[in-house]
Structure 1
Amino acid sequence: MRILAVRGCNLTSLDGPFAVEFDQAPLRRAGLFAITGPTGAGKSTILDALCLALFDRLPRLPEGQGVLLGVEGDPNAIRSTDVRAVLRRGAGAGWAEVDFVGVDGTAYRARWEVRRARQKARGALQPQTLTLGRLDGSERFGDGKKTALEEIERRLGLTFEQFRRAVLLAQGDFATFLKAPPKDRSALLELLTGTEIYSRLSIAAHERAVRERQALDALEAQGGGIGVLGDVERAALAAETATAGAAVRESEQALDAAKAAVAWHERDARLAADEAAAAAAAEAAGRAWHEAAPRR
């Protein structure tokens, strides 16, 4: 989350519009700056505008119902805890506006407005409105103050209390942040600096290590079920292997002898066939010789 600009108009001691542009020179290059001025100059009003636009709340207002400011029944009478009391006396309307970059890296504009009836200085105060949209104007979020507040908090990544304690630190509240439990301070600083990604990576790495350790333990447990043979067992298996090897060799020799016998019988059969063929040819030649005798 990063604040780009704070603007406002007709808020308490600040008459007319004002703007503090953090993303423009000279503040854009300022690593540290101070808001200074005499009492009543409007220093706290700038911070009020910041909280109004983002949360519709003022950190310096008391909690609870407060007291009635004005006469009972007067339409202009409001309670001391009403944020609309920030409207400058004599003004018919006022507003606060904040440009910021959300935790998703998108630039947004939040705007809080309050006005009197017909925008007259003596008109009755109307309910305040709150809107949120993309800074480029391409999209608007929420259809009312309640949903707009929810969308702003989700995109800021901070609740009002977290924002007040860690970002605003208004007038004496710095001790509140310092006294917060270490776990709470760590969570706030991660949100402010954008380093929560490293916590997520650390958690993911730890979970992966746990899974891998469990897998290794399972493999080791399986390996533990395989027994180791003793000397006697190994000797018996070696003897069986030797016996089986000798039997295989004998079988191979018998197979070779059988193959040789088959080859001999096949050759003998061929020779017998050749002998019979030769005898038949000789007999035929003899008959032909005798039959040809009268002609000789």
Structure 2
Amino acid sequence: MKILAIRLRNLASLAGPVALDFTTEPLASAGLFAITGPTGAGKSTLLDALCLALFGAVPRLGATARDAKVPDADGEIAIWDPRNLLRRGAGAGFAEVDFLGVDGVRYRARWEANRARDKAGAKLQPSRQSLLDLDSDRLLATQKNEYRPLLEARLGLNFEQFTRAVLLAQSEFSAFLKANDNERSELLEKLTDTALYSRLGRRAYDKARSARQHLENLQAQDGAIQALDEQARRDLDERLVMAR
């Protein structure tokens, strides 16, 4: 998985449109870079847009109380609802991410929300998500129940894995370290594409266990064989001679 571009409009402190294209200069050859700026400049909003476009959720909103609400045009809205990121005074907004999937295909994930008739102050409408295959220009999903499994399969990570290993929310940089051994192992395999070696290791272990069991069976059979005593061997030899 590789992030290729981030685009957004009317999210939090960024009116936009804003676009970051990591496939063009100067970012294409930058290697390592930092997002800097004063408080309120929109640094966190860029990262929110990345997660929002992919999963329709933002880690820092999910950390709030589930029953907490804030006032909105049509009454109240849950504080964890990602539509809270829609800029005040805006009738519509979106977050969009282009990425290279684990299958080597380029995709575009998009989240968008709007108010009735795109008018600021009107009632919030349900948010929408879509997944587009950029290489074939084919729309893969527009329904949320089909979007998530397709996105996770192409991205190679689910929301929890992504927010623990790729996008660590503020004050949660120890999330990866706090994960148990199995979770860290699974994340590292996905991020380093070394799951193949784990599968090879399991197959080698299973084959060795099968060979060991076969050897033990042979040894048990061998131990059950009793050698003939001297008299029995003479009797057998005599019977063989007579049979000829």
1:190 matched to which residue of 2? 189
- Opposite residue 2 of structure 2, the aligned amino acid is R
Tell me which amino acid in the other structure corresponds to 1:158: L
Q: Which has the higher contact order (CA 8 A, sep 6+)?
A: 2
Confirm or deny that 1:68 pairs with 2:67.
no
Match for residue 116 of structure 2? 117
Cα 1:123–1:213 shift into 2, 3 Å: same
Contact 1:69-1:80 within 8 A present in 2 as well: no
- 3-state SS of 1:33 partner: coil
Unaligned runs of 5+ in 1: 249-296
Deviations 1:30-74 (A, max 9, x none): 44221111111111011111111111111111240222224xxx4
Q: Deviations along 1:69-126, whole A, 9 cap, x unmatched?
A: 24xxx42753322211211223222111112233334332110011222222333321
Larger Rg, first or second structure (1 or 2)? 1
Which segment drifts farther, 184-193 or 227-236?
227-236
Distance 1:197 1:82, change over 3 A: same
1:129: which partner in 2?
Answer: 128
Aligned counterparts of 2:142 and 2:8: Cα–Cα separation in 1? 22
Where do 4+ consecutive residues of structure 1 move more than 6 Å?
none
CA distance in 2 between counterparts of 1:45 and 1:143 reads: 24
Alignment length (residue pairs): 242
Q: 1:95 to 1:211 in 2, by over 3 A?
A: same
Match of 2:28 in 1: 28
The residue number in structure 2 matching 1:271 is none
Quote the Cα distance in structure 1 between the aligned partners of 2:117 and 2:136.
27
Structure 1 residue 19: deviation in Å? 1.9
Residue 215 of structure 1 corresponds to which residue in structure 2?
A: 214
Q: Partner of 1:49 in structure 2?
A: 49
Deviates more, 1:200-209 or 1:154-163: 154-163
Alignment of 1:254-269 (within 5 A): none
> Quick one: distance in 2 between partners of 1:123 and 1:158?
36
Answer 1 or 2: which has greater helix percent.
1
TM-score (norm: length of structure 2): 0.86
Q: Is the 8 A contact 2:129 2:142 kept in 1?
A: no
CA RMSD for the aligned pairs?
2.4
Q: Any conservation in 2 of the 1:97–1:110 contact (CA below 8 Å)? A: yes
Distance 1:211 1:25, change over 3 A: farther
- Aligned counterpart, 1:11: 11
